[in-house]
Chain A
Amino acid sequence: TQLLEQSPQFLSIQEGENLTVYCNSSSVFSSLQWYRQEPGEGPVLLVTVVTGGEVKKLKRLTFQFGDARKDSSLHITAAQPGDTGLYLCAGARDYKLSFGAGTTVTVRA
């Protein structure tokens, strides 16, 4: 079983729509990272959140770390085809980083 559960597994939306990806766990993490991976490439870090309740914005992307530091969400406003990719969350706990299985996002033009 995954320490971090991501939902949904797949998401296909039209350009201009909003979307939210969730990353949940029953465990507490000292920090949580979000990565995006495009086909044929390695993951690239988008953001690291470290404080419970923290909200970070990166242009049209909004990241939130839950108050109890067990969950996180990624919200994309007015999605564009360039947002297409595999979104991975990763939590730091017990001196290691555990990854979720990822959410595949497809934004249709």
Chain B
Amino acid sequence: DVKVTQSSRYLVKRTGEKVFLECVQDMDHENMFWYRQDPGLGLRLIYFSYDVKMKEKGDIPEGYSVSREKKERFSLILESASTNQTSMYLCASSLGEAGGMWTDTQYFGPGTRLTVL
């Protein structure tokens, strides 16, 4: 079974702090994704990566950055946390099949609920 793990289930930070969210997948997947999930808005893509050291902006990249130094690990960084970044953060990975990144099955981690005070 594919396993995607996230470093924390719950996190509380203060405004202005630098925040690191870690995601690890164990199935040698090419693609990795970071989403945030807010009530009434669904999942919104922050960043994605299709290879080591490669990254692409999603729909809402402002205030975030990412790092992918190893294939299995994709980190989301909040440079200076703000209260409007309080949310559920979901990491996902997909194999990278010929059909295309956006029709692949995405496997999600359990999420990190981040509260910024």
Q: Which residues of A contact B (CB under 8 A)?
A: 2, 4, 9, 30-31, 33, 40-45, 48, 50, 88, 90, 92, 95-97, 99-102
Contacts and interface: CB of A to CB of B under 8 A. Distances in A.
B40 to A, nearest CB: 5
Given A42-B4, A42-B92, A48-B105, A96 B110 contact: no
A41 B111 CA distance: 7
Interface string B76-117: 000000000000001010000000111101111111000000
B102 A42 contact: no
A95 B59 CA distance: 12
Q: Give the interface SS of chain A, mostly helix, strand, loop or mixed.
A: loop
B103 A30 contact: yes
Interface residues of B, number: 24
Given A40-B110, A43-B108, A102 B42 contact: yes
A21 B38 CA distance: 20
Contacts of B44: 99
A97 B45 contact: yes
A72 B35 CA distance: 23
Given A43-B108, A97-B106, 16 more contacts: A2-B41, A40-B110, A43-B90, A48-B105, A50-B103, A88-B43, A90-B43, A95-B101, A95-B102, A96-B59, A97-B45, A99-B42, A99-B44, A101-B40, A101-B41, A101-B42
